[in-house]
Amino acid sequence: MSKTRARIKRRFPSILDLAQLMKFRKPIFSPKKRRLSRALTIYDLRTIAKRRTPKAPFDYTDGSAESEVSLARARLAFEETEFVPRILRDVSHVDTSVEMLGKHHSLPFGIAPTGFARMMQTEGENAGSTAAQDAGIPFTLSTLGTRSIEDIFTAAPNGRNWFQLYMWKDRDRAMGLVTRAKNAGCDTLVLTVDVPVAGARLRDVRNGMTIPPSITSKTILNAIPRPGWWINFLTTDPLRFASLDTWNGTVAELLDTMFDPTISFEDLKWIRKNWDGNLVVKGIQNVDDAAKSVAAGADAIILSNHGGRQMDRAPVPFLLLPEVVKKVGKKVEVHMDTGIMHGADIVAALAHGAHFTWIGRAYLYGLMAGGRDGVDRTIEILNSQIVRTMKLLGVNSIEELNPSHVRTIDRYRSSH
């Protein structure tokens, strides 16, 4: 049986037809702007960062404790989350802003405290604080920062700059930092409580990472394809801790030497009496400790397992959210960090009950990929992903997000 075929009429394309097809992108002459423009996700920034940064500082950022299960589970929890979209809603306008601890912020995430930022890229904390200022989000300086409290407030005088405190064995020196933060204009103190001892970060041990970085035959070989990092390192002011004495050793040795394993809820109450600004407790990993922290005077808590960098097989903050919010959410703000690599992760956390979220690795990947411009790109990527996810969910504002918008896929719940 013969088939009937419609004949296709062909023609010669006109010059106008060809001209419309031959459209070229405007060239980007700056190598940095060109590589950042090609980064469409945080993982793209990570790829660039790994290519441009020596192994030891990159692994310090990228890695976590022991078998790195805590971080892997945090990512899996986000990936095994399912959204429940609503259709036929007018989402022509989306408001991503939030009120957080008495101030308005343009986006529902901030930059978490991360140590040694200038080791990742020479602009360090100045890049993070100025990018945060311009984006209308908070920035948190770590006790282990490589720029001083005063440097940050000078670099970003109009930003909301917080200070993160590890309690030292020498209480007077620790509170001296708190006084400096207050005098500089800091309105919020973040007390990190999950470091009674340093986690076993095996990548750092295997890399022999010290502060400042040691130059060995291995590091020289690793530096050959990454000359930009080493030029910056060798031609700018020496890499050091701005709030600590000079240290020549590993991070774990520093933590075990400086920080106090005896810290208790009584110390939290004492800090509350000596600090009249907002007090945030970071590192909460169970409901009881959340309630005790609130009773001791916390204005907000951050559910966090330190990005998986302390205890392996730690609780996943995202999965802990509903229970903690139910217990203390009417008394204080409940924030979370750990594993956030996409704007959809942030939307899921907010729908799950979080009031605010914090990014660490995502910020540092951008910093390593392109300094201040790379941090801007991190914020741009997350912002665009948040807006798109909200529109696809059918919501116009952060306030509209609620638990009905998200659920955990059954196969994840049953296997864990």
Which residue numbers are catalytic?
Answer: 306
**Could you give the CA distance from residue 35 to residue 370 in angstroms, rounded to a whole number?**
9
Q: Which position has the token pair 């000079």?
A: 246
Contact between residue 112 and residue 337 where contact means Cβ atoms under 8 Å apart: yes
Paired residues of 191 in beta bridges: 165, 281
Residue with tokens 């700018």: 236
Strands (E), 223-293: 278-284
Beta-bridge partner residues of 406: 83
Structural contact between residues 406 and 83, judged by C-beta atoms closer than 8 angstroms: yes
CA distance 310 to 70: 9
147, 115 contact by CB (below 8 A): no
Nearest to 312 by CA among 74, 35, 134: 74
Q: Are strands 300-303 and 333-336 parallel, antiparallel or unpaired?
A: parallel
Determine contact, residues 413/370, Cβ cutoff 8 Å: no
Q: State the amino acid at position 50 in one-letter form.
A: K
Instruction: Please check whether residue 139 is in contact with residue 129, taking contact to mean a CB–CB distance below 8 angstroms.
Output: yes
Write out the two tokens for 26. Answer: 């405007």
Sign of CA dihedral 132, 168, 313, 294: negative
Any residues with CB less than 8 A from the CB of 104 and at least 6 apart, and which? 97, 98, 136
Distances (CA, A) of 284 to 158, 191, 314, 337: 30, 11, 11, 11
113: left (phi over 0), alpha (psi -120 to 50) or beta: beta
How many whole angstroms separate alpha carbon 151 and alpha carbon 161? 11
Longest dimension (CA), the chain: 96
H helix or E strand, kind and range, residue 410: helix 410-415
